Structure 1
Amino acid sequence: MDVQTTAKVVVLHVATEKDRQATRVNKKKVDNRLLFGYGGHWYVPGERDQEVEMEQGEEVINTPDVEIQERGDIYFFYRPKVNTEEPHSSHDVQKLYIVLRPQSGETSTQLKQQEKEPPATTQAIQEEEEEVNIEKNLLLRLIIMGRKSLPDPAKRSRPFWGFVELVTTKIQDVKDALKEEEYDTKTRGHRHKPAARALGEGVYRILRHNNKSKKMHTHLVYKLEFPSEQADDQPQEDLNVEREASFVIQIKNPIQAKKQAGGQFSGLQRKKKATFPAHLQGQFGQLSYHAADPPDFLNYEGCEFLLISASDEIQEELGLEIQEDASCSDLVDTFGETASADALFRGIWV
């Protein structure tokens, strides 16, 4: 599922100034290199322009305003409500989960918290941080969406709140969070919490967007590989999990815990909020929100964020062509015995 992002460069043609003037010039980015296109060819600018031969599976950005901060795999799960064995609609859903598995980015090493409840002082927090090389080692972020769905693409001004429930380097930790559970209560007796069901699998990117007309912001974009386009998409449609989508993502300042205007959400309790190290907390200043730059913000349990629907056409909006690989399912290989995959492959409620 890894996406190859390195272009093979071969000298095929030396462009003249006359060629440049006679032909419309296009621009795009490949692996953070700005390329110029004219005469049906793409070139690296320089004294002797080198034509770039684009390889299959290569990722292309057609605008210099967009930079890729992080690449990885994305998995979607839903959990039915307690004692609901056969859900039929979103009304039967208790939680919507997102799992992000970063695999590469602007830097190969990211920082994550080492324990669930950080010590009281900033100095101690920094000492308890752990470095993870995401290109060599596993890192998983388990996210819960507060409204039990993704934002509606038709309502682009309405933010949806979510938070990071778990950050781990162990697959079993996520499996434990998704598995079924039996328990007893004094008032309602025996209760059964069904296991989560796999809903979608694909690839994601976190992007830095330096739009001239707006303040710098970040996007979380994804493109599904499963279910296939030929399958039904009943649960995906009900939970607003489109085949591809782009969201503006904003990280909430845990210190300024003001309630969103209009009472849209109250956020996590104080003891469950993230405690960011000084170099991340300092980026907020007096602001209530900050772009997900760097993505390391998401490596701290209790990190709260807003997703605002931007588009369901990534290439049209951001000039990014994401190459997916539907040859096999990493989700099933990783979580298959924990989460039913009928919704993933058949697009039906289970």
Structure 2
Amino acid sequence: MTAKLEQGDIYFFYRSKIDREQVNSIDDVQRFYLVMVPDNDDKARLFIVGKKRLPEISDGSSKSTQREWMLNYLTTSPQQIGKELGPLKYQTSTEGEREQGEAIPAGAGRYLMFEHSDSTRLAYRLHQPDKPGKAQKELGILAEASFVISVRNPEIDAPGFPDEKPDYPQQLKDKFADKRWIDISDTKLLDYENAQLLLIGAHDDLADTEADISSGKPELFDTLGLKPKNWPAAAIEDGKFTTPDFKLDSKSPRGDPTKGGRHGGKAALKSASAAGIAQALKGIDFPRDRDQVVKFAEKHDVRAEIIDVLQELPERKFHTMADLEKAVGEVR
């Protein structure tokens, strides 16, 4: 027996890396977003999905890729979420202004959040594209899937999760007691910026659950106040990775709690210092140019805020770690 907690539209977007001229795979993706728009409500939630893909569905074995975190980046009106997904501009000390394209729609569907046995589940069914393509497969977006979903107690540290915390009122804090994770007994737990969720892959066939997501039709562009002519549609229509068009005016980004330096908190700033970057790149050999340094960092799962700083380095060859650290100091 299931108890429905919430249902609505679910949208998936990806944003390419700064100044990336072509987007051919997940390696060219900087951020992966999930948007929830509950039915009969005037709000929407914009989540950042860690590791840029949804969790895998387990075949019975336990895998690290079966789990992934999400962080509430913003809760506001659907139209304001749409504006947040537009192109971004960054001011750097070495290369002046740099732009990052609009987030690309990669999927639209319906979701249901419900109680199932002794856990909370999030299930969705994709409406667009008709069949998942290369983009959806690399981002972990299936035709339908369900996940065990829980929310992190902000008062208890969780390794691998961002340091920022949601500003929960006391009545929501009390729900955690001394538990590190709890089920979503109250969907208001999802509404606060910096709320952190854990998704665990459960099913890739909703017939294996009691979830009924048969009603409703997602209208991504209308709901988010977007004009289709301004947004590349190849990913959501044909399942192909596509490159941003930059048809909209770019804006400065909001502070991102998963990133460091100018875009994140004090802890992130420290880890993205020249010394912190040198430690994170331990084992790298030289000489290497900027793109090779970034590729090394991505291959070795270096923190996102450090990769962001490395991408701001000048396009030249670095001959020693000291040379690289000096360049980092110049862009900081």
| Large movers: runs of 4+ above 3 Å | 154-158, 336-339
C-alpha contact 2:16 2:103 (8 A) present in aligned 1:
yes
Answer yes or no: is 1:347 the counterpart of 2:244.
no
2:12 paired residue number: 76
Matches within 5 A, 1:19-30: none
> Given the superposition, is the C-alpha separation of residues 324 and 187 from structure 1 closer, same or farther in structure 2, using an over 3 Å criterion?
farther
Alpha-carbon distance between aligned partners in 2 of 1:335 and 1:146, rounded to the nearest angstrom: 25
Answer yes or no: is 1:151 the counterpart of 2:55.
yes
2:285 paired residue number: none
* 1:248 corresponds to which of 120, 123, 148: 148
Alpha-carbon distance between aligned partners in 1 of 2:6 and 2:44, rounded to the nearest angstrom: 13
1:274 paired residue number: 166
Note the C-alpha offset of 1:277.
1.2
Answer yes or no: is 1:320 the counterpart of 2:220.
no
Which SS does the other structure have where 1:323 is aligned? coil
Answer yes or no: is 1:228 the counterpart of 2:228.
no
Q: Which range moves more in the overlay, 273-282 or 303-312?
A: 273-282
1:21 paired residue number: none
Note the C-alpha offset of 1:170.
5.1
Alpha-carbon distance between aligned partners in 2 of 1:192 and 1:200, rounded to the nearest angstrom: 24
1:96 paired residue number: 32
User: Aligned partner of 1:140: which letter?
Assistant: A
Unpaired stretches in structure 2, ≥5 consecutive residues: 243-332
Q: Which digits, 9 at most, give the CA deviation of each residue in 1:319-342, with x for residues without a partner?
A: 23321556xx51122323554222
C-alpha contact 1:222 1:245 (8 A) present in aligned 2:
yes
C-alpha contact 1:146 1:161 (8 A) present in aligned 2:
yes
Answer yes or no: is 1:196 the counterpart of 2:98.
no
* 2:220 corresponds to which of 316, 331, 339: 331
Note the C-alpha offset of 1:187.
2.9
Alpha-carbon distance between aligned partners in 2 of 1:322 and 1:177, rounded to the nearest angstrom: 28
Which SS does the other structure have where 1:320 is aligned? coil
Alpha-carbon distance between aligned partners in 1 of 2:62 and 2:148, rounded to the nearest angstrom: 10
Note the C-alpha offset of 1:139.
0.9
Note the C-alpha offset of 1:84.
1.1
Matches within 5 A, 1:1-350: 64=1, 66-103=2-39, 135=40, 137-154=41-58, 157-158=63-64, 159-169=67-77, 171=79, 173-209=80-116, 211=117, 216-229=118-131, 233-259=133-159, 265=160, 267-269=161-163, 272-316=164-208, 318-323=209-214, 330-333=219-222, 334-337=225-228, 339-350=231-242
C-alpha contact 1:315 1:321 (8 A) present in aligned 2:
no
Alpha-carbon distance between aligned partners in 1 of 2:215 and 2:133, rounded to the nearest angstrom: 18
> Given the superposition, is the C-alpha separation of residues 258 and 224 from structure 1 closer, same or farther in structure 2, using an over 3 Å criterion?
closer
Alpha-carbon distance between aligned partners in 2 of 1:282 and 1:220, rounded to the nearest angstrom: 23
Which SS does the other structure have where 1:235 is aligned? helix
Which SS does the other structure have where 2:140 is aligned? coil
Q: Which digits, 9 at most, give the CA deviation of each residue in 1:109-129, with x for residues without a partner?
A: xxxxxxxxxxxxxxxxxxxxx
Alpha-carbon distance between aligned partners in 2 of 1:285 and 1:335, rounded to the nearest angstrom: 41
Alpha-carbon distance between aligned partners in 1 of 2:62 and 2:20, rounded to the nearest angstrom: 32
Note the C-alpha offset of 1:150.
0.4
Which SS does the other structure have where 1:246 is aligned? strand
> Given the superposition, is the C-alpha separation of residues 85 and 331 from structure 1 closer, same or farther in structure 2, using an over 3 Å criterion?
farther
Note the C-alpha offset of 1:87.
0.5
Note the C-alpha offset of 1:88.
0.4
> Given the superposition, is the C-alpha separation of residues 78 and 84 from structure 1 closer, same or farther in structure 2, using an over 3 Å criterion?
same
Alpha-carbon distance between aligned partners in 2 of 1:296 and 1:165, rounded to the nearest angstrom: 15
Alpha-carbon distance between aligned partners in 2 of 1:228 and 1:184, rounded to the nearest angstrom: 39
C-alpha contact 1:141 1:164 (8 A) present in aligned 2:
yes
Percent pairwise identity:
31
TM-score w.r.t. the length of structure 1 is 0.64
Q: Which digits, 9 at most, give the CA deviation of each residue in 1:192-228, with x for residues without a partner?
A: 111100000010011111x2xxxx2101110011101
Unpaired stretches in structure 1, ≥5 consecutive residues: 1-63, 104-134, 260-264
Q: Per residue, is there more strand in 1 or in 2?
A: 1
Q: Per residue, is there more helix in 1 or in 2?
A: 2
User: Aligned partner of 2:73: which letter?
Assistant: E
Alpha-carbon distance between aligned partners in 2 of 1:336 and 1:162, rounded to the nearest angstrom: 27
TM-score w.r.t. the length of structure 2 is 0.67
C-alpha contact 2:37 2:78 (8 A) present in aligned 1:
no
Note the C-alpha offset of 1:167.
0.4
Which SS does the other structure have where 1:220 is aligned? strand
